[in-house]
Structure 1
Amino acid sequence: MSDQHLSDSIFGGQGGDDAHRRPTGGGASRPPHRRRRGPVFLLVALLVLAAALAAAGLVLKPMVESFRSGADYTAADATGKKVTVTVQEKANGTAIGEMLQQAGVIKSVKAFVAAAKDDPRSQAIQPGDYAIAQHIPAKDAVAYLADPKNRVVKRVTVPEGMRASEVYALLSKASGLPVADYQKAAKDAAALGLPASAKGNVEGYLFPSSYEFKAKSTATQQLATMVAKTKDVLTQLGVSDDKAERAIIVASIVESESRLDADRGKVARVLENRLAAPMRLQLDSTVAYATGKRVITTTDAERAQVNGYNTYTRDGLPVGPIGNPGEASIKAAVNPTPGPWLYFVTIDPATGETVFSETKAQHDQAVLRFQAWCQAHKGQC
């Protein structure tokens, strides 16, 4: 059988005789041509598509009609039930209206957009979470979202100089997350974005500031935000990642030892001068960090301990930061005040008055003034 005859046999061509269109064995004729199934399948597909479109229409029709009509709830329609909605970053009025309509807060997007245009306060709507009542007039929804007091936020202020363990406790109280979540998150250096020079230690990189964390933010997200702020400050000061750790260690000491902004650069200079001499730093603040205490002075036994933070028994800087410094202390560490000082002592812890000295004899006289203050203020040293 030629190719032409085969083609005519299958697709119903006009060429050839009956032998080319019937089985040679004299059996039953061939089944109906396959091409005839096509219209049936197409019809079924069209029916399924039509059904899907009809179903979608039933769902979307009310929303579309509501959008076009500008239908609105009245105060009497309010259910009293609240839902939490999220206004996304850079969302416009239509996007916010669609979100509110889907949450059952407003009746139509058109009504919300119109109300927003009529209320100048709508320009002040901030991204974030809001707990808002359902079935309320569009103008009331605009007014509610425009008031920043109605945002559901986890606001917390982290003071300068706090240690990581203290920061975890503060964040936990504000967020409701367990302290253990922050301790676990602190071990993931990659997720936090810590510089390689930090060697996985988050201490020193939890930037002191006021934060507003989203209601569902994780411990990792919160700590990463703080680390990013510290890295931003270092970048602005021209500190590369490989030099970040040293800068933060010095800054953490400056934060711990300084009460007055005018003294921060001087404290940083004393540290650099002693390191260059070389002389041991001999700082009670580093000794106290190793003990976990918050004290002005330390004992002879504590100063005799050998560990990575005891600058009485260790040459150079401690092995890591002793707290989380603020921007002023980081700036002082990067750009110390020029000067010849090798010593300093805070002679009045209440006011922060500090004396800087070039010689040991001068320093000893300043220490006597500090001791006199301690005698006059029992239990405060």
Structure 2
Amino acid sequence: MSDSIHDFFDENTQWVEHGTGAAPAGEPPQPPKSRREMRKRRRRRHNRAIGTIIAVVVVIALVACGLYFGIEKLHEIRDSNSQANTAIEDYPGPGYGEVSFTVEEGQGAVEIADGLLKAEVIKSAEAFTSLVSANDSKLYPGTFTLKKHMAASQALSILTDASKAAGFLEVRPGERLSAVIADAVTLSGFAQSDFDAIVNAKGEGILPAEANGSFEGWLEPGTYNVKSMGSASDILKAMVDKRIAKLDELGVPSGTDRERVMIIASIAEAEVNKADYYAKVTRVIENRLAQGMSLGMDSTVAYGNNVQPADVTTTMLEDGSNPYNTYKIAGLPPTPISNPGDNAIQAALKPESGDWLYFCTVNLDTGETKFAVTAEEHDKNVAELRQWQAENGQ
């Protein structure tokens, strides 16, 4: 209806004009002759405005894209120029002469690279650290024989080979005191008698009271630069101090409870060769102690006779004079039987839940161990071991 009315007025309304000639230059445009024409003019102005806005937006977008890609290109050029100007310097190798170079325990790649640069082994620290990072290399502590003006890759191949390290004593989890001291004598140059005198004096001034005068179990596994130490006492003290610090870190209670944890952990470390079994072994030990049963561990008998568990004989098992014979003597042995590692210590602190009273390693190659609640179950596991031994000539 409204459109019809607008059309009626558009067709019949006359507009009064003030002149019949063309509009002079500079004067306002002539008004529309009809309402229809007025609406058309409005639509044209509206469309022109929208078109102008779209054109402006497009231009702005094009300018922004141009700026972005231009800046990116400038960055690429700058980076390529920077790389060209800062090329990593390296010697071609193989080098000459001989350099004795020591990597200390705990040193990182940057610190080692700086030392190599100062020793004139490599041409730039970046050449070495970039290789370490790219290959995720493990650098071993020790004293290595290198050359001056080596290629960084050649130096790295030596520093990542533990067999080429000298002068550093490695204490391994499960090692006995006697084995550690034998290695210390060889590497340090100090006499066996120097170490024996300290051990016989019950570690006075070195061991904590809860050790009860025995170094066994109180040497922290790790790597030690024994060549840099001044005496046998310094070597043993360094290992004991690190052990005490680690036990504090692991939250092992002090006093007699600490020695008890160490004894149980050392047995678990000696009895099985997989960390997954440690907490089950410590549970067997706790269950047997709770029921007043003897522990019956070959590892303790072996320790008391200074042999390996595989070498335990029937005579040894029957020898009640051995204070470490847990077949004949109830309770825990008087001291740890090795230097346990972190996993075994944590297993002694938190044994796995279970009712097991027995365990038996049924495959001596893989270390597979089975646990049992009853003697009947245990007998089946022992029979499985005997079958494996027969099949493998053991």
Give TM-score, length-normalised by structure 1. Answer: 0.60
Gap change, CA 1:216 and 1:315, over 3 Å in 2:
closer
1:245 aligns with 2:226: no
The number of aligned residues is: 262
Deviation at 1:240, TM superposition (A): 3.1
Amino acid in the other structure paired with 2:378: H
Q: Distance in 2 between matches of 1:129 and 1:160?
A: 23
Q: Distance in 2 between matches of 1:192 and 1:158?
A: 22
Q: Distance in 2 between matches of 1:190 and 1:287?
A: 24
Instruction: Give the match for residue 363 of structure 2.
Output: 348
Q: Distance in 2 between matches of 1:128 and 1:358?
A: 47
Instruction: Give the match for residue 175 of structure 2.
Output: 162
Instruction: Give the match for residue 294 of structure 1.
Output: 308
Instruction: Give the match for residue 135 of structure 1.
Output: none
The structure that has the greater radius of gyration is 2
CA contact (8 A) 1:186 1:192 kept: no
| Local SS of the residue matching 1:348 | coil
Deviation at 1:193, TM superposition (A): 3.1
Instruction: Give the match for residue 46 of structure 2.
Output: none
Q: Distance in 2 between matches of 1:346 and 1:244?
A: 28
Instruction: Give the match for residue 162 of structure 2.
Output: none
Deviation at 1:165, TM superposition (A): 1.0
- Which of 243, 262, 278 is matched with 2:276 structurally? 262
Q: Distance in 2 between matches of 1:311 and 1:226?
A: 28
Q: Which runs of 4+ in 1 moved over 4 A?
A: 80-85, 118-121, 127-132, 146-149, 188-192
Q: Distance in 1 between matches of 2:142 and 2:310?
A: 42
Q: Deviations over 1:71-130 (max 9, x none)?
A: xxxxxxxxx999999x9xxxxxxxxxxxxxxxxxxxxxxxx9xx9xx9767xx9xx9999
Q: Distance in 2 between matches of 1:347 and 1:119?
A: 54
CA contact (8 A) 1:346 1:353 kept: yes
Q: Deviations over 1:133-172 (max 9, x none)?
A: xxxxxxx9xx9xx9996xx972122222111111111111
Instruction: Give the match for residue 173 of structure 1.
Output: 186
Amino acid in the other structure paired with 2:222: S
1:275 aligns with 2:289: yes
1:227 aligns with 2:240: yes
- Which of 195, 214, 217 is matched with 1:201 structurally? 214
Alignment of 1:364-379 (within 5 A): 364-378=379-393
CA contact (8 A) 2:302 2:312 kept: yes
- Which of 319, 322, 325 is matched with 1:310 structurally? 325
Gap change, CA 1:302 and 1:247, over 3 Å in 2:
same
Give TM-score, length-normalised by structure 2. Answer: 0.58
Aligned-pair RMSD on alpha carbons?
A: 3.8
Provide the identity percentage.
37
| Local SS of the residue matching 1:157 | strand
Gaps of at least 5 residues in structure 2 are: 1-96, 105-117, 130-140, 160-164
Gap change, CA 1:231 and 1:168, over 3 Å in 2:
same
Instruction: Give the match for residue 35 of structure 2.
Output: none
Instruction: Give the match for residue 4 of structure 2.
Output: none
CA contact (8 A) 2:100 2:143 kept: no
Amino acid in the other structure paired with 1:300: T
Alignment of 1:112-123 (within 5 A): none
